[in-house]
Amino acid sequence: MAQTLLKVTGLKVSYGGIKAVKGIDLEVREGELVTLIGSNGAGKTTTMKAITGMLAAEAGEIEYLGKSIKGKGSWDLLKDGLAMVPEGRGVFTRMTITENLLMGAYIRSDKAGIEADIERMFSIFPRLKERKDQLAGTMSGGEQQMLAMCRALMSQPKVLLLDEPSMGLSPIMVDKIFEVVKDVYAQGVTVVLVEQNARRALQIADRGYVMDSGEITMTGEGKAMLDDPKVQAAYLGEGAAA
């Protein structure tokens, strides 16, 4: 069995008096694509932020590469190969596309490798190359999502966490984003995908977790969960087995 890269045990996170995450367990093994699905307010984004040090955990343990990372900052985690594309993209709006990509590589010093990776990002998303000198803030939402993903990949992560990458995008752009997620996974990057589009996420995932009201209520293989009547009724709507 592949090595466990990321392990969360008994994680609790609160906002003021609200318990947003209520003692969840999950793990991600090397080379997997794992998805976390659930409705709005289920605690998915809070979980991702706690893993990456953006929110403090009230209780529980978070381990990466066999060591505790609880309380570590995002900068240190990035150096260790754990990168996140946050919900809402978070691109540097007053920087150009090329400058954004260079910011993604700021922990690296291999100039030739960085230049080669920028060209690789441009080959994945030709539209970015066409507009490489354009300010990121003037791009469409879909283009900004492309850029945010590419910027994270510039750090050469071992594990890539994606928080709602398809949210608010056109159907054509959603197709493109999922295509890139599959490509990144096929290249050996371990992926954790938080996604409201449960059907699309489970179709490409090795395993899935269902989160509801701050708790993990179900876990299993992605394809099997697609056929599960409870998942179909709650998250996939009619005709989910198709």
Tens-place pLDDT, residues 171-199: 999 999 999 999 999 999 999 999 989 99
**Domains identified in the chain and CATH numbers:** 4-89+159-236 (3.40.50.300)
> pLDDT band at 240, cuts 50/70/90?
very low
Which pLDDT value is given to residue 90? 83
Checking if the pLDDT of 239 tops 70, the result is no
Residue 14, pLDDT above cutoff 50: yes
SS3 label, residue 36: strand
Q: Are residues 83 and 127 in contact, defined by beta-carbon separation less than 8 angstroms?
A: no
The Cα angle at residue 137 between residues 101 and 74, in degrees rounded to 5: 50
Write out the H or E segment, with its range, that includes residue 15: strand 4-15
Q: Which of 134, 137, 145, 124 is nearest to 97 (CA)?
A: 134
- What does the pLDDT read at residue 24? 97
**CA triple 81-85-90, angle to 5 deg:** 130
Helices (H), 105-221: 111-124, 126-130, 141-153, 171-186, 198-204
- pTM for this prediction: 0.92
Band (204; pLDDT cuts 50, 70, 90): very high
15 is written with which tokens?
Answer: 């906002």
Distance in Å from the first CA to the final CA of the chain: 31
* Spatial distance between the Cα atoms of 71 and 73, rounded to a whole number of angstroms: 6
| Pair 162, 191: CB distance under 8 Å | yes
pLDDT, one tens digit per residue, over 136-177 is 999 999 899 999 999 999 999 999 999 999 998 999 999 999
- Does residue 80 carry a pLDDT above 70? yes
Alpha carbons 230 and 240: distance in angstroms, whole number: 11
